[in-house]
Amino acid sequence: MMVYVIGYLLAGIAVVFVSRWVSRVNPSFQDRLNAMRESARRHIEAELYPDGAPLYWALLRILGESVAFIISVLGWPLVAFGLIQRLKGKHIDHARGTADAQAEDKGELLREVTVEEVERIELVTAGGAPNLPFGWLNPVWLTFKEQLKPGDTLWQYRYVPYEGQPLDAWSHEAEGYAIKRNGVVVAKIFSHAG
Amino acid sequence: MTIQSSEILMYNGKKYLFRSYPLEVYFKLGGRRVPFMVDTTACWRGYVGTWAIDNGELRLIDISGHIAEEPTKNIASRAFKYHIDYDDPKLCRRATIDAIFPGHDGPIFAHWYSAPIEAIDAESRSVQLLAEVKRGRVVSLKTEPVGDQA
């Protein structure tokens, strides 16, 4: 019996630490909110106690965090469920993002171009930027160009913002180029956006 | 959500503030991002860029903020949670244009940027500057009293 209890608690501790690690390396919107709350708490604490918080304040915090930790360890299946849902959600978002990107590509490929044409159009000659295609972003172009394989086609590409687009999408019209392979866009580069 | 600190735009000797972020666009396009120390939730990007419209071009002329050194790289995005001595060169250094565009101190022509800029006079807050930027070049620009949009 005791073995099962210890096993349960150890599993709980492991799940709680994994959950915290995920929050740290890949913070969600909620984690950012929590970070802001924590920041606000620190500011209030600094206002209230400019010479340092009293001991009972620190003890209260430690007590609060300990209770939260114990509850999380005891109820670790719930924490694990939340963690799985979160990771699943990320997977779904990623898949949705890929699908969106392909849908955008279908509608916004403007015309086929050659590498030489792109390098001529995108040559930055003003303002002290490197006198190279894509200027300061020339290394990005070189990496993009390396992805071209025999049989691929290069297309001028335009992104037009649309209602309900992902939050991290461009807010304004953006232009660039796409590599099309077997009818599918496999890589994109933008020369200017906003 | 905390209101984010503005970028600075210098035009005709006047200082304006605006809330679009050409450097963020640069990073998103694949430009070299450095680990800026986020020392306040009012500036998640960790820096404030100063831009100028000069000769019809949008140019980055200065940047303020701190860049994490090796010991603080992992906490740079949440540096506000820690008590960090920003003057300690082992922990971080002052942000410079050269850190993002190696070998150049500026001004940096923002050829990657195409978007409108809506800025407001930093002092009086009564004049706004509206500019349309295409590939870093200002294609139209006007200043007018706030609330006087025709």
Q: Is the pLDDT of residue A56 over 60?
A: yes
φ, ψ (nearest 5 deg) of residue B17: -120, 140
Interface A-B: count of C-beta contacts within 8 A: 84
The model's pLDDT over B92-126, given as tens digits with 9 standing for 90+, comes to 999 999 999 999 998 999 999 999 999 999 999 99
CA distance A34 to A24: 11
| Residue in B with minimal Cα distance to A125 | B111
Residue A51 has pLDDT above 70, yes or no: no
**Under 8 Å CB-to-CB from B111, ≥6 apart: which residues?**
A124, A126, A127, A129, A135, A136, A192, B135, B136
Residues of A in contact with B57 (CB under 8 A): 126-127
Higher pLDDT, B128 or A4: B128
- In tens, the pLDDT along B42-100 reads 999 999 999 999 999 999 999 999 999 999 999 999 999 899 999 999 999 999 999 99
- Here the ipTM equals 0.90
User: In this predicted model, what pLDDT tens digit does every residue of B19-32 receive, in sequence order?
Assistant: 999 999 999 999 99
Q: Is the pTM of this model over 0.90?
A: no
CA-nearest of A142, A155, A143, A146 to A181 is: A155
Using a CB–CB cutoff of 8 Å, tell me whether A193 touches chain B.
yes
| Residue B149 pLDDT exceeds 80 | no
Does A191 reach chain B within 8 Å, measured CB to CB? yes
- Residues in a beta bridge with B23: none
Secondary structure (DSSP) of A70-81: HHHHHTHHHHHH
Q: What pLDDT does A98 receive?
A: 42
Tell me the CA distances in angstroms from A72 to A77, A87, B8, B139, one per residue in order: 9, 18, 45, 57
Bridge partners, residue B62, by sequence? B50
| Backbone region of residue B91 per phi and psi (left: phi > 0; alpha: psi in -120 to 50; beta: other values) | alpha
Contact A192 B78 (CB under 8 A): no
Average pLDDT over residues A30-36: 65
Tell me how far apart the alpha carbons of residues B126 and B143 are, in angstroms, rounded to a whole number: 10
